[in-house]
Every structure is written in C-alpha cells, then in structure tokens.
Amino acid sequence: MALAACALCSTASLADSKSVMGVSVPAATHGWTGGVVYWANRTKAELEKQYPGMKVFVKTAGSATEQANQIQDLQTVNKIDTLVILPFESAPLTKPVAQVKGKGVFVTVVDRGLTDPGAQDAYVAGDNPGFGKVAAEYMAKAMGGKGNLVILRGIPTVIDNQRVDAFNEVMKANPGIKVLDAKHGNWNRDDAFKVMQDYLTRFKQIDAVWASDDDMAVGVQKAIEQAKRSDVKLVVGGAGSKDYIKKVMDGDKIVSADVTYAPSMIADAMKMTAEARASGKPMAASTIIPSVLVTKDNAAKYYFPDSPH
C-alpha cells in the first residue's frame, strides 16, 4: 500500500509539473513524412495552448544517426520527460530510445516500431498488416487470380516487414499470381523510379505493381511511361495522398484503388500522450488505426485538397 501511495504521489506531481515533450520525426523527404512534419508542428501549437505548463519541441532528422543524436540532445539539453518518436529506421533507433527511456523519460513510439518493444511505454500506428492484406486482396481480385506482379518495399523497418508479410500471405492463397521480385524503394519516388526501371528491363511481362506507398507509385508510373510499356494494368500505392486519391476519383486507367495510412497519426499520438501525462492516467500500450481500401465509390470521403499530403 505504501508503494502504491508513493506511485500515486509521483503521478500526481508529474501532472502538476511543467511537462516537456520532445517530438522526433523524419524530415519531409517525401509526401507522407511531409504530412507528418505538418501535423507535428500543428499539434505542438495546439498542445501548448491546451496545457499552459507544457513545452513541446519538434525535431526533424534526415537520417537514423541524426535522429539518435537529436533525441540525446532533447534529453540532456531540453530536459524532456516525454518523448514521442517516429523512428527513421527501427534497428538503429532501438538502443538510443531505450537509453532515454532508462533515464525516466516516457516514450511513445509511432508507426515504425522498434526491434525491442521494451524500449517504449506506448505504441501508436496504422494497421500495417492490414495495409498489406487490404492491398493484396484487392489486387488478387482485380488480377483475376493470375499474372505477374512486382513489389516495391519501403525503408527496412518493422512496419515494412509487417506489410510485406501480410501481402505475401494473401498471395500464397493465389498460386496463379507470380511475385517476380521485391526490392526496397525506400518510400521515395526517385528510388522507386530506379527500382521500376530495373524491373522493366529484367521482366518482359509485368501485369501489376504493388508500390506500397503513393510516392513510390509516382516513380513507378514515371518509369512505366518512359519505357512505353503497356503490359502493366494495375498500380496500387498506399497512404492516401491527395494526388492518388484524386487519381482514383478520376478513374485513372491503372490506379483504381488506394489504401489509407494517415500521417495525422503523429497528432493522435501526441494528443493521447499529452493527455495521459497531464492527467496521470495510464495510456493504452498499443493503439492501432485501421487501413481502409479506397475505390472510386468512397474516394471523395478521403480526399482533402488542402492537406500537404
């Protein structure tokens, strides 16, 4: 009982104190992370207004190494007691985040999970297995259960593994579809363009492409157009960028669907974490935001023309 009372006292004192939140996200190197940076800065202003005693620092990083250094600075220089982080990559950030947590900082990991869940207090993400499953089920049906397919993976992370594993599970149940290759396009349109150029050179018949990200889909389509290939009948990206939702709405000849994965999840994570820290109430260990298939029938519901993503 004494220990419980002490814990309650500790929680109450934290809620009354001036909390300092560090938010660490990848730099806006492509559309989705651009949306993340936008929502992080927008939510910083909202939280500092809602909780007058709270200070929020938002840092963006162009590499895993830079992000690891930034979170150390947030802890030693800015004296954060709370960290909300969307890791640039999973493995390189696991130890640095664990070290910060070991110094008493409350850690919420967003989207790209760490290789050791023990390095976090809470996790907020989209439904990554669902992201792969929804895309695969749509593509298998659209392809009539047969044909050649190539995959463009994202940055090597836990979430990329979850997406691709779920996608491949669906394809195992469709033996008429042959997955020719799967390479990392790093969620980047230029990298995806190069990967797709390689695919188009090596494979004479490609019926469909799972780009697994709308920015990569841009690079994929550019490569297909430059090669003047007419065999590719279907390209599915993901993350619900306004440009690709518009393509679906307008009936693009090879982009007939998309899968949601909103960058505003960083805002959700920041708000949930701030509320838990201010109130002293526990935060859910895991919060998963579902992925939804977007087709011409429902695309208007997911089209936000003023969004940066």
- What pLDDT score does 64 carry? 95
pLDDT along the chain (309 residues), means of 10: 37 56 92 89 95 95 96 96 95 96 96 92 94 98 98 91 97 98 96 98 98 95 97 95 93 94 91 94 93 94 80
- What pLDDT score does 159 carry? 85
**Could you tell me the two tokens for 192?**
């995806």
- What pLDDT score does 307 carry? 73
Count of C-beta atoms within a 10 Å radius of residue 235: 26
- What pLDDT score does 32 carry? 84
Rounded CA-CA distance 203/27 in Å is 34
Contact 152, 183 (CB under 8 A): yes
- What pLDDT score does 15 carry? 42
- What pLDDT score does 112 carry? 86
* 146: phi then psi, degrees, rounded to nearest 5: -150, 155
Sheet of strand 82-85, all strands in order from the earlier edge strand to the far edge: 55-61, 20-26, 82-85, 106-110, 122-126, 286-289
What ranges in the chain are assigned the alpha helix state H?
2-16, 31-50, 64-76, 90-102, 128-142, 158-172, 189-202, 214-227, 242-250, 265-279
- What pLDDT score does 1 carry? 35
0.95 exceeded by the pTM? no
Contact 182, 161 (CB under 8 A): no
Task: Pick the closest to residue 224 from 250, 251, 254 (CA basis).
Answer: 254
Sign of the four-CA dihedral 213, 218, 219, 225? positive
